Amino acid sequence: MAKSTVVPFELPSEFSADPLTEVIQAGAKELLRTAVQAEVSAFLAEHAHLLDEEGRQRLVRHGFLPEREMMTGIGTIPVQVPRVRDRGRNEDGSKIKFRSALVPPYLRKAKSVEELLPWLYLKGISTGDFSEALAALLGPDAEGLSSSTITRLKAAWWEEYEAWRKRDLTGKRYVYIWADGVYFTPRLDGDRQCMLVIIGADEYGEKDILAITDGFRENADSWCDLLKGLKKRGLTVPPELATGDGALGFWTALRDVFPDTREQRCWVHKTANVLGATPKSMHERVKADLQDIWMAETKKEANAAFDLFVEIYGAKYEKAVAKLVKDRDELLAFYDFPAEHWKHIRTTNPIESVFATVRNRTRKTKGCLNRKTALAMVFRLMKSAKKKWRKINGPNRLPDVIQGIEFKDGIKQLQTAA
């Protein structure tokens, strides 16, 4: 029997009165009424100089529009918008109309509720379960919200993604980049495609999404097109260091587009590759010995641990050792950069942690993803995850890296006068 990770929402048969919520809703109703009244008063004051043919003030209050209910994060709140009457006309025959910025015409859901819908979808709630989920979160009046909203939102997400991927990058400076190609469990349109993702850290230590597209992970042409696209849109200064899995066609493309960028192999991927070539009974020991390499304080100590690993496992597990040895220099490149940055640049964790959520969502689609939906979903999820990304430790070291100052074992080297 397949395991399900979907937690059903328990919808109570009757919602009992909650005095605290009632007080909050009453306060919100009065606050909204006061804010709209202030809004219309400011509108009338702005046009107080206008007079009609009889010398009277042209714009005056004229009752209220019909009351309507607003769905908000604290439940349903009734609202009435004041009506404004124009007793004159403009030169072109038109009349001045009052339009509330707080409560625009036909608005039925607060922005917080609109944002809740894509959040529920992206986090794994199917569109058919929206009414039940929203009713449990917001109360029984939320049951009428239509799941068709997601159809419109997905179209908007795609348009947002299209505009984002064509954005101008002129003047941007990224010191470090991370690249990875991530496959989904459901194959898109029947092909073995994956998402190619690049994340960058700028000169201030802030991490940002540089590129998301679909392609083939091992295909250097796909990565080359991606990197050339970034360069064409203004990313002309090469990054100082790129981190990624050794199996990527990314490295061939990087050497073509940004030949001066240093290469760092991801230790998480490399550890998985080495463990895959050793018996399961040896994994704990092998993993500990690999950790002795990348956790060493100096490059000399790391090389000593590297040599010891080759000596211990070379005879019995030749394939595992070969996977490690072939990328030796690239695995230890981080020692030539500030020690504060090591925890960031040794692995592609900035990408992997995000795609744990993406994979969880795509499993719930049951293979129904098409190319546009998948790209739009990944884009929205990564933008959401970006809010929680940590800055690079020791951002004051980034100017030193940009200026090409030498670091040995993570320590800045003093510059001697010529």
pLDDT tens track for 220-252: 999 999 999 999 999 999 999 999 998 788 999
Same domain, 87 and 180: no
What contacts 128, CB < 8 A, 6 or more positions away?
A: 147
Residue 12 pLDDT:
47
SS3 state of residue 97 = coil
- Helical segments of 64-196, H only: 111-122, 130-138, 148-165
**pLDDT tops 90 at residue 132:** no
User: Is residue 199, in this structure, part of any structural domain at all?
Assistant: yes
User: What is the rounded CA–CA span in Å between residue 345 and residue 240?
Assistant: 11
Contact 230, 197 (CB under 8 A): no
What contacts 199, CB < 8 A, 6 or more positions away?
A: 177, 178, 207, 208, 209, 210, 350, 351
- Domain membership of residue 291 as a residue range: 172-402
Same domain, 190 and 59: no
Angle at 161 between CA 254 and CA 374, to 5 degrees: 85
pLDDT tens track for 330-357: 999 999 999 999 999 999 887 877 666 5
User: Is residue 315, in this structure, part of any structural domain at all?
Assistant: yes
Q: How far apart are the first and last CA of the chain?
A: 73
What contacts 7, CB < 8 A, 6 or more positions away?
A: none
Contact 195, 374 (CB under 8 A): yes
Same domain, 382 and 279: yes
User: What one-character-per-residue DSSP string does 390-407 give?
Assistant: PPPS-GGGHHHHHTT--E
User: Is residue 408, in this structure, part of any structural domain at all?
Assistant: no
Same domain, 104 and 218: no
Q: Which of 97-101, 277-281, 320-324 has the lowest mean pLDDT?
A: 97-101
Model confidence at 407, pLDDT cuts 50, 70, 90, reads very high
User: Is residue 26, in this structure, part of any structural domain at all?
Assistant: yes
User: Is residue 2, in this structure, part of any structural domain at all?
Assistant: no
Residue 91 pLDDT:
83
User: Is residue 5, in this structure, part of any structural domain at all?
Assistant: no
**pLDDT tops 80 at residue 292:** yes
Q: What is the mean pLDDT of residues 351-373?
A: 62
User: What is the rounded CA–CA span in Å between residue 142 and residue 203?
Assistant: 46
Highest mean pLDDT among 10-24, 82-96, 136-150, 349-363: 82-96
Residue 144 pLDDT:
44
Which of residues 393 and 352 earns the better pLDDT score? 393
User: What one-character-per-residue DSSP string does 46-83 give?
Assistant: HTTT-B-TTSSBSEEEEEEPPPEEEEETTEEEEE-PEE
User: What is the rounded CA–CA span in Å between residue 148 and residue 117?
Assistant: 10
Residue 183 pLDDT:
74
User: Is residue 192, in this structure, part of any structural domain at all?
Assistant: yes
Contact 159, 223 (CB under 8 A): no
Distance between alpha carbon 336 and the CA centroid of its chain, in Å? 30
What is the count of structural domains for the chain?
A: 2
Same domain, 230 and 88: no
Residue 187 pLDDT:
46
Q: Phi and psi (nearest 5°) for 111?
A: -60, -35
**pLDDT tops 50 at residue 395:** yes
DSSP E strand stretches across 135-287: 174-183, 194-202, 207-215, 241-244, 262-265
pLDDT tens track for 42-95: 889 988 888 888 889 999 998 888 887 766 655 677 778 888 999 888 888 888
Same domain, 262 and 388: yes
Contact 407, 237 (CB under 8 A): no
Q: Which of 110-114, 140-144, 151-155 has the lowest mean pLDDT?
A: 140-144
Residue 82 pLDDT:
87
Same domain, 73 and 198: no
**pLDDT tops 90 at residue 415:** no
Place of tokens 């990565």: 223
Same domain, 80 and 207: no
Q: Which of 39-53, 93-107, 137-151 has the lowest mean pLDDT?
A: 137-151
Which of residues 299 and 156 earns the better pLDDT score? 299
Same domain, 388 and 256: yes
Predicted TM-score (pTM) of the model is 0.69
User: Is residue 364, in this structure, part of any structural domain at all?
Assistant: yes
Model confidence at 306, pLDDT cuts 50, 70, 90, reads very high
User: What is the rounded CA–CA span in Å between residue 81 and residue 100?
Assistant: 8
